[in-house]
Structure 1
């Protein structure tokens, strides 16, 4: 049987938690590889004062307290260091001869990120549902309080109620789709997909919407564009979301172009380009996040749920493809998708 010290050394070496042993003066006696990687220090860790390794004031004061008292009960605190979060557990070790401290640092940055996303998600959903609900309730109460006597007022109020109810329905539908995509409950069935047929069919579905706004939709698909590997229903949703966005955020008199062509290396590229408002540079990195909107007021006015592009990203990721955007504020945006050729 291997020596216990060998076993303990292997455990400390392979742990995905930082381990730091300090002497009675607060100097490092030992640091495992995870801690060294997380808190690099010039000249090595061993022998260095703890303040040269970790800069968090709360943790340093706690360690100083243990050193001054030469003991105490184990303590856990949460700290942030260089943009990351750690759960720190301080364990004092005292015997007749020496006093030392064991410090365990567990990186909880990812857990914090997920927690923040969940909180933001709940807050955003609550807000998105509360706004149309408040309008529906307000207009309904007005009708019940006597607004039904005027036929024109009644029709206008009912139109507003219907618009907000439709918005809520669309939001719930998008939430369910996104939830199923993220939990992999919406399987992608790969088959050859004819992009020419798919794009023409999807574009035709927006004919009335584009005509109402005076927007021209142009379709340009190269004759040598091969079929791609994908799930037709899911890719149709991608095209619907991209076209819907392009038309919504393009003013009257503008145009939207959908193109597809071989991109080389066994891929096909699809572009949806509009002459709309465009996206500021600082907003582009977050444009595919859930509920992220460049112009919140305009988006809600146009009936956007803030989930369309997040759904696009998840579907394309599920196809092992790529989606990105290029934009010039005031001139328009171009959303591009790269998909693998079938076969």
Structure 2
């Protein structure tokens, strides 16, 4: 009797063991399925992110083609029109009128040259092929050179320009020509968009901790804060018309951002409370060539 019970209990235990084994196999299988499901979900997310990036790149490409095509076509059309008129009228055209036509053609050629240069510059920066020609300079000399080169244009528009640079600004390492490019772009924009009746531009510079901060301020229409966050994006200016006037190809500020960031600095825009805009550039103060830093 006892043996019979034990035997029955042994059979019962074996069945339980088998059930437990099967349960463990099911649990193990479920774990594997969960792992595979998680991997599949991650793969799906990666594919979605890749698709989003491709979509973004496609949009950037479309913007590039739209902008460059438009920017190339406009001056080319103007040059062709002017040239056809010159050929058609020939000696019948007054010397002064002929001179105006030729000056317009020269300006359009310069516009084309700038656009091509901007596109090539941007490609170098984004591909990582742009190298800086670093040396120790005084940033105030950059401002002096830019102001001097643009003085005639500023005065012709009767714009009041104030330059206030602290004497204590130290020298630092930077690419002189590239910084001239940055501040030429900023001052050119300020000249273009400041108030037409009572234009005013102020340039200030001073040291803040271990950085040099320079501001270019105009009293134009200004840009709202939300759009200011994207003003350094490629093509954004031309495609979205942030101001009442077009900003050209929309590459200038994007290039400025690349130049400043390559120096380890930052550039940003702050809308001025009483209308207008303030563009600020901050660059670190380096005692040595910073490309040799670890």
Q: Normalising by structure 1, what TM-score?
A: 0.65
Distance across 2 between alignment mates of 1:173 and 1:144: 30
Higher RCO structure (Cα 8 Å, ≥6 apart): 2
- Answering whether residue 206 of structure 2 is matched by residue 267 of structure 1, we say no
Unaligned runs of 5+ in 1: 1-19, 22-27, 40-83, 87-105
1:85 shift after superposition: 6.8
Higher Cα Rg, which structure: 2
Which structure features the higher share of strand residues? 1
Which of 164, 184, 191 is the matching residue for 1:247? 191
Q: Is the 8 A contact 1:321 1:339 kept in 2?
A: yes
Q: Is the 8 A contact 2:67 2:249 kept in 1?
A: no
Identify the residue that residue 245 of structure 2 maps to in structure 1: 298
Identify the residue that residue 221 of structure 2 maps to in structure 1: 277
| Structure 1 segment 2-17 matched on structure 2, within 5 A | none
SS in 1 for 2:277: strand
| CA RMSD of superposed structures (Å) | 2.8
Q: Is the 8 A contact 2:68 2:249 kept in 1?
A: no
1:36/1:166 CA distance change after superposition, 3 Å: closer
Question: Can you list the C-alpha shifts for 1:192-233, whole angstroms capped at 9, x where unaligned?
Answer: 331222222222221111111111222111222222332222
Distance across 2 between alignment mates of 1:85 and 1:147: 63
Distance across 2 between alignment mates of 1:85 and 1:148: 66
1:224/1:124 CA distance change after superposition, 3 Å: same
Question: Can you list the C-alpha shifts for 1:59-111, whole angstroms capped at 9, x where unaligned?
Answer: xxxxxxxxxxxxxxxxxxxxxxxxx973xxxxxxxxxxxxxxxxxxx732222
Higher mean C-alpha deviation, range 333-342 or range 153-162: 153-162
Which of 98, 122, 129 is the matching residue for 2:65? 122
Which of 80, 85, 88 is the matching residue for 1:137? 80
Which of 99, 110, 113 is the matching residue for 1:169? 113
1:146 shift after superposition: 3.0
1:257 shift after superposition: 1.3
Corresponding residue pairs, total: 251
1:295/1:149 CA distance change after superposition, 3 Å: farther
Distance across 1 between alignment mates of 2:57 and 2:179: 28
Identify the residue that residue 103 of structure 1 maps to in structure 2: none
1:247 shift after superposition: 1.0
1:324/1:168 CA distance change after superposition, 3 Å: same
Q: Is the 8 A contact 2:213 2:283 kept in 1?
A: yes
Q: Normalising by structure 2, what TM-score?
A: 0.75
